[in-house]
Structure 1
Amino acid sequence: MTDTLWYTRCPVPTASGLAHSLGWLGDTAARNGLAFGVLQDAGPELAVRHFDHTLPGLIREGGNVPALAARAQGSPTRLIGLTWIDEAQAIVVGPNSPVTSAAELAGVRVGIPAWARDQARSFPRAMALHGFANALRPAGLTLADVRIVELGVEPNPQVRTEIQHRERALTWGVAELLDGTVDAVYIKGAHAQEVAKEHGLRVAVDLDVSATRALRVNNGTPRPLTVHQELLDTRPEAVIGFLAQTLRAADWATTDHDAAAEVLQRETLSGPAGVIAAYGTDFTVGLHPSLSPDRVELLAVQKQFLYAHGFLAADFDLDSWLAPEPLEQARALVAAGQVAA
């Protein structure tokens, strides 16, 4: 039985990240007799578990590519929640590019990050491929209608501290776009918005204006909360407490908007303008996790895309991955006012 509740997340808006910043997750672990650890603060031997999710005691909230790839590889995880937060996905071109629409992407050179060390860590490639596929579809085009140029990537990305994150480029392909190696790249999130503005990049296709959510499915939409099966089996009360504090943090964000904005700036490694540009002024919408049928269906769209493009070692039954009971019990605790402050 594990004696530590481990937590990891990506540099994106999450209610669990808010709860961690407020100190609530560590308190929950302590109340359940567990130590509390954060992979971002751990050494490289543990940090890799962010991608393969084989660490007993681990709860992860982050991109769905590593989560789905780990499950397909056989990692003993369960899906305990999904969020949906639109985060400024776009296809951008250089300042002087004539491309202004999806139809005009036909025949252009698009930057796609190369494969990393394994499928889970190849999430930049998966994001770009799905981003372009979604952008092209309304124009009646497919990935076969563009010229893919592979971009160099870090083959073994690691979870990092905030300072280390700020020291690395978080937007793949901007350098190649500016030097003329490619004609268009996919970007998403707050930091990418800041980078695009800094270099005068233009939006050729704004994926967020699509009325069809299926055309906005990607690594962060929807975003999963997963738990190692051992922690769920042996310490279910800790998992329920974690989720209760996550729900409480999502509620808090709607009542203290300015304080939540400051936390999200740290979580997304961006300034105020980047957060607003990526997530809008009502950025707290979607922070509450659920396993609603529509979110599960949208995750199924992503799973199918990843499987078809080689990002999953095997297909698997999505419904068998779901564990809805902890979230249901956490909601009951919050509704009854039984979540310790």
Structure 2
Amino acid sequence: MTATLDTLWFTRCPVPTATGIAADRGSLVAEFAADGLAVRSLQDAGADVPRDRHFTHSLTGLVREGGNVPALWARANGEPTRLIGLTWIEERQAILVRRGRGAVTPDDLARLRLAIPRRAIAIDFWRAMALAGFAGALGTSGRGLDDATLIDVDAAPGADQWVAELEALDAGRVDAVYVKGALAVEAAARYDAVVGIDLDAFADRSARVNNGTPRPVTVHQRLLDDHPDVVVRFLAVLIEAADWAATNPAGVARILAAETGAGATGVAGAYDWTDHADLHLDLSPARLALLGQQERFLHSHGFLARPVDLAAWADPAPLAAARELARARAHRS
């Protein structure tokens, strides 16, 4: 029996996403208004819907565009989600060091103390990001995490991004900190930390595989089974939002500032591609292979209860249908 859908929920991380663009422009609400279907952001839900649904994806009427660590974790824990799209969006990933240290190479990391944050949360994606970031840098010189000195840095669950690690760096307890995104640009300036290794400079994308690269869009199996048309239309709106973003750099910069909570300096420092933004989804073999690299890394380091079969998880049909719908709409307009 098909369940009634009164509210379609969406959630996204505070990073560049087509969902964030569509939400800011009112496109998601407008898409389903004539159906009498309410469209609500989990970030604005208040106390009526627990925020941990962003990580567990146990809310059946939810579409999630966010980091792959929680998405893979939820699937590994048995939540029947489906992967319906992947983006690859560069987010200024870097290894920071104290000013005055001098040039740092990936090989040098094996001789430094690397900050590995630890937070008491259900899935510690912050810790996973740091480990993957350092592993990516070390891997470019043929080294691995076993070659390095990893220093646990405890951070409160609600602590601001990168603060605990940068305080440890400033105090001399660690020598290097992995960071990414717009808020990291601003935080580095506050602590006078400088880029020791620019992960974005490596031509091989595999060095930057992490929580947000690639970033998945997932839905609950029940939503896909009961309301496949809603999922397709949602994806069509994301395609249209990505199309808009590709030709509206000023608008993208404004929306990213609102989405990330960073100022113009942070946005410009983290996202220098806003004049040719590409927020489009795909499920190409290349992107799935990069996600496979992340899945294996997370499982090998204990973040996943069991392996995730990406071929079984991914469903390309909704995105293919959404592309056809978006093309038909564009032709009509």
Do they superpose with TM above 0.5? Answer: yes
Query: 2-side partners of 1:147 and 1:74: how far apart?
Result: 34
C-alpha change, 1:179 and 1:208, in structure 2 (3 Å) is same
| 2:161 counterpart of 1:170 | yes
Matches within 5 A, 1:244-255: 244-255=236-247
> Identity over aligned residues, as a percent?
49
Equivalent position SS for 2:320:
helix
Give the 3 Å change call, closer, same or farther, for CA 14–284 of structure 1 in structure 2: farther
Any stretches of 5+ residues in structure 2 without a counterpart?
none
Q: Is the 8 A contact 1:32 1:238 kept in 2?
A: no
- Give the Cα–Cα distance (whole angstroms) in 2 for the partners of residues 338 and 256 of structure 1: 17
The one-letter code matched in structure 2 to 1:150 is D
After superposition, give the CA deviation of every residue in 1:233-253 in whole Å (9 maximum; x if it has no partner).
111111111111111111111
Aligned partners of 1:78 and 1:32: how far apart in 2? 24
Match of 1:154 in 2: 156
Query: What's the offset of the Cα at 1:169?
Result: 1.4
- 1:36/1:282 CA distance change after superposition, 3 Å: closer
Alpha-carbon offset, residue 312 of structure 1? 0.4
Matched to 1:169, the amino acid is D
Q: Which residue of 2 aligns with 1:116?
A: 120
What's the CA shift for 1:106? 2.0
> 1:1-341, aligned counterparts within 5 Å?
1=3, 2-44=5-47, 45-98=49-102, 100-118=104-122, 121-155=123-157, 169-172=160-163, 173-282=165-274, 284-337=276-329
Secondary structure in 2 matching 1:313 = coil
The separation in 1 between residues aligned to 2:185 and 2:238, in whole angstroms, is 27
SS at match of 2:184: helix
Partner Cα distance (1:222, 1:5) in 2: 24
Letter in 1 for 2:131: L
Aligned-residue Cα RMSD (Å) equals 1.8
Q: Structure 1 residues 274, 339: CA separation in 2 closer, same or farther (over 3 Å shift)?
A: farther
C-alpha spacing 1:30/1:290, structure 2 compared with 1 (3 Å): same
In 1, Cα distance between the equivalents of 2:331 and 2:12?
Answer: 22
Code of the residue aligned with 2:25 in structure 1: it is L
Residue-by-residue CA offset, 1:23-77 (whole Å, 9 max, x unaligned) = 1111223333322221111235521100000101000001000000000001111
1: CA distance, partners of 2:135 / 2:74: 23
Corresponding letter in the other structure for 1:81 = G
Separation (CA, whole Å) in 2 of partners of 1:253 and 1:298: 24
User: TM-score normalized by structure 1?
Assistant: 0.91
Distance 1:339 1:313 in 2: 46
TM-score (norm 2): 0.93
Amino acid at match of 2:146: A
How far off is 1:116 after superposition?
A: 3.0
SS in 2 for 1:255: coil
Preserved contact between residue 118 and residue 155 of structure 2 (Cα < 8 Å):
yes
3-state SS of 1:306 partner: helix
8 Å contact from structure 2 (residues 161, 183) kept in 1: yes
The CA deviation at 1:200 is 2.1
CA distance in 1, matches of 2:142, 2:320: 42
Please state whether the residue corresponding to 2:305 is helix, strand or coil: coil
Provide the C-alpha distance between the structure 2 equivalents of 1:283 and 1:307, rounded to a whole number of angstroms. 37
Q: 1:340 to 1:190 in 2, by over 3 A?
A: farther
- What's the CA shift for 1:22? 0.7
For 2:303 and 2:276, how far apart are their aligned partners in 1?
A: 31
Is this contact kept in 2: 1:5–1:35, CA < 8 A?
A: yes
Distance 2:137 2:203 in 1: 13
Q: What's the counterpart of residue 163 of structure 1?
A: none
Instruction: Kindly indicate whether the alpha-carbon contact (under 8 Å) linking 1:5 and 1:29 is maintained by their aligned counterparts in 2.
Output: no
| Offset, 1:264 | 1.2
For 1:284 and 1:258, the matched residues in 2 are separated by: 11
